[in-house]
Structure 1
Amino acid sequence: MASGSAAVLARALEALDLDGATDKINLIPQDFFAELCEQVIQHLNHKISGINTGELCQRLQTSGIEINVGDLAKIANIISFLFSTAARNNLSTEELVATPSNAVSTLPKHAVQVIHHVWNEQGKSISVSEDARNMATVGQFIDISWKLGVAMSSDTCRSLKYPYVTVTLKVADPSGQVTNKSFEMTIPQFKNFFRQFKEMAAVLETV
């Protein structure tokens, strides 16, 4: 790696507050950290829509590890930035993790070992085309679900008993974090929502 690339990577990692994430990374067992790195690689290769930090965080908490989804999302962003920057600069495994001035070398030993292994095995597979970089600026829809409910009361009315629909969208933001977005609609609103989807489907059939 050219010294210029090394300096750019080091400055960028400092901007991501790598030191602040080190303590949290130290809490994550090696197998979980490896799974997170694998998901990041798959996301960068467009094999999965996003990184399910919520599900992984829940499993970590169940195993007794004190970490929240925000911390895990930050770590995933750092890994994603690290791998994508390394791909753009065509870094070898040694250049990525062994450069003395590189902030990666300050990570916990088990994390460096995982990064070394994952990049050595799959680093060359990451696509860094211009189209891929442009696509990374928008989120991606993954799934939709809905359920019917009945409002029984409110602050101003004791017995409403009107039906409503709760819609939940599962989306991956540009960094790859999977989140759920929920909102409520009245039955007329939901019917209009459904009608627009039917119109979209009809247009797509003509493409």
Structure 2
Amino acid sequence: MPAADDSCDSVVDNICRLEPDLLAEPCQHVLRYLLGQTKGVDSSEVCDIFQRGRVTLDHESLQSVVTFLLSTFRTAAKSKLSADDLVSRLEERSSRWTKESLQVFHSLWSEHGDSVQVPPVPQDLLSVGRLVDMQWKLSMAVSSDTCRSLNSPFVTVLLKIAASSGQIHQKVFEMTVPQFQNFHKQMKELAAVMETV
């Protein structure tokens, strides 16, 4: 579990800003991942949850909350903590917890804690991300302060990548149509090679 310090208190403050029902949602996302039911914890979905609760966080703070939840539930699973022990450890780390927030952790861990198994992660896979989704759309540039060639088509690509930590990060980039066609060709070649392995 995260050590007690100002950054931990900051994360706790952000978590405690959520109503109990809203707090349960990102916790359930993390638990579903740790139960092997999803490929990762999508930070954009957690952001949507916070926005529904009218809690606005910058990207770094949001990532800190997701990392804290992942670390907390992983550590509880590895240590085989009971729900009471989990709450006690959280209270030891920070005095800023609200009673309602701790009740959410207690309730969810009582329900799911025994089922969570944290497999060891091979050391050579720690820095490798996994592509879990790719979306693209064709658009047309119609105005720009810096571009001379307007009315040119371009492709916007959104990649969702699951890090070894379990967090899903989004990467967005744009390409010209010829660049996208080359990218598509390379992906087909890569898929063909992977089928032979």
1:49 to 39, 50, 53: 39
**Aligned counterparts of 1:106 and 1:152: Cα–Cα separation in 2:** 50
Identity of aligned residues (%): 39
Regions of 4+ moved over 6 Å? none
Residue deviations 1:75-112, cap 9 Å, x none? 22112111111222222222222359722675211111
| Alignment correspondent of 2:24 | 34
1:80 to 61, 70, 78: 70
How many equivalent pairs are there?
197
Gaps of 5+ in 1: 1-8
Gaps of 5+ in 2: none
Q: Structure 1 length normalisation: TM-score?
A: 0.78
Q: Structure 2 length normalisation: TM-score?
A: 0.81
One-letter amino acid of the structure 2 residue matched with residue 49 of structure 1: K
Shift of 1:164: 2.0
**Aligned counterparts of 2:90 and 2:119: Cα–Cα separation in 1:** 29
Task: Confirm or deny: 8 A CA contact 2:9 2:94 kept in the other structure.
Answer: no
Higher deviation after alignment, 88-97 or 131-140: 131-140
Task: Confirm or deny: 8 A CA contact 2:20 2:104 kept in the other structure.
Answer: yes
**Mapping of residues 1-207 of structure 1, within 5 Å:** 9=1, 12-14=2-4, 17-98=7-88, 102-103=92-93, 106-131=96-121, 135=125, 137-152=127-142, 158-207=148-197
Higher deviation after alignment, 124-133 or 26-35: 124-133
CA 1:80 to 1:145, structure 2 compared with 1: closer, same or farther past 3 Å?
same
One-letter amino acid of the structure 1 residue matched with residue 37 of structure 2: K
Shift of 1:177: 3.2
Greater gyration radius: 1
Shift of 1:44: 2.0
| Alignment correspondent of 1:4 | none
**Aligned counterparts of 1:125 and 1:132: Cα–Cα separation in 2:** 22
**Aligned counterparts of 1:200 and 1:160: Cα–Cα separation in 2:** 33
